[in-house]
Amino acid sequence: MTALLSLEFVPAREVVGRPSAWWDSVLGGVMYGARDAAGLPDKVPRLAVDAPRLDADGAVCEVWRAAAPLREGVAGPIRYRCNDRLLFGCIELDEGASVDGRAESALQGATEAAYRALFALLDECGYPGLLRVWNYFPGITANSGGGERYWQFNTARQDAFLACGRGVGGNVPAACALGAASGPLSIAFLALRELPLAIENPRQTAAYHYPAQYGPRSPTFARASVSGGAGAPLLFVSGTASIVGHRSLHAGDALAQTEESFRNIEAVLGEARRVVPGRTPSLDALAYKVYLRAPADLAVVEACVRRHVGALAPVVFLRADVCRADLLVEIEACGGAIELGGR
């Protein structure tokens, strides 16, 4: 198998001061647990997300690499880098900086502006296949501007999808949305020349079909997404929590929520094997980010994660708020044609 991407989790202190040549094959980077990404050069798309690492001291940098030659550019609020098949981009928008007078809140205005810019870039550069999106903003379950902030984000994201000619159900990208401790609306995304395939979880209601109790507009994401074509696919499992059907389970029990999350991830992998037979990795061949609402839950959650994925799988544990107030844990994963490294 030839890797299309590589992913490595590198302590931030080891990234700072790397020579220019070290960055030549880097598509982009996300610094978790830092308030700025000053250690990453300007030519590289980068985010700093205020979600501290819990399982080690200091910030951690998620480094994505791809085959050279790479080209970079800036399009409005987006800094991006790409090769002939993949494009990685990053957006940071202060909520009050871009606001469309039609928007009901600053977050809605910033979210719609960010996604419109994202789709305009993909259309202009010829990467129609939005594969994976990471979304971070503070106060995700707080109420402001007339409603819960995650609901406002979902409304604006869906508005942008529709305005830019994208569907809001079916073949939509893998995604997550987490609450950072502070900072702007921060979005990283990965797109392809070809359209990916969306994967749903037979144990869960598709997020874009959630009933109105979870907000006036449904979230626009699939449970996982895989690249098409021959060979091993790029596989991205969306942020996965203790939800069966559309209901949250195991309130107040971080261990039970983690176990339920893995049942969901296994179900998603099973569905991916049905869609792309023989080309889907096992749990221990994936890399993970685990988001915890309460740092005190780290020991029990980390032990549970390792029981499922083994001692060698790359995993980082981060402090962040999940998009429902009763959820304590969210887990995302990736693998397939991605070379994995770092712990």
pLDDT at position 101:
54
Under the banding of pLDDT at 50, 70 and 90, the label for residue 1 is very low
Do 51 and 180 form a contact (C-beta atoms < 8 A)? yes
Distance CA 247, CA 230 (A): 37
Each residue's pLDDT tens digit, 207-236: 999 999 999 999 999 999 999 776 779 999
Domain that holds residue 157: 5-341
Digit-coded pLDDT (tens) for 125-139: 999 999 999 999 999
The residue annotated as part of the active site, out of 62, 92, 330, 332, is 330
* Both tokens assigned to 147: 């409603």
194 is catalytic: no
Higher pLDDT, 305 or 105: 305
Q: Which residues pair with 191 in a beta bridge?
A: 87, 130
Residue 72 bridge partners (DSSP): 81
For the beta carbon of residue 300, count every other beta carbon within 10 angstroms. Answer: 14
98 has a pLDDT exceeding 70: no
Supply the pLDDT for residue 3. Answer: 81
Q: What value does the mean pLDDT of the chain take?
A: 94
User: Which tens digit of pLDDT belongs to each residue from 7-19?
Assistant: 999 999 999 889 9
Q: Would you state the pLDDT for residue 5?
A: 96
The CATH number given to whatever domain includes residue 50 is 3.30.1330.40
Tokens at 101, concatenated: 């007078």
- The pLDDT tens digits of the residues spanning 257-314 come to 999 999 999 999 999 999 988 778 999 999 999 999 999 999 999 999 999 999 999 9
- How many structural domains compose the chain? 1
Collect all residues with Cβ–Cβ distance below 8 Å to 251 and sequence separation of at least 6: 326
Is the torsion defined by CA of 3, 188, 170, 251 positive or negative?
positive
Across 71-75, average pLDDT = 97
In sequence order, which ranges of the chain are alpha helices (DSSP H)?
Answer: 12-15, 106-125, 149-163, 254-275, 298-309
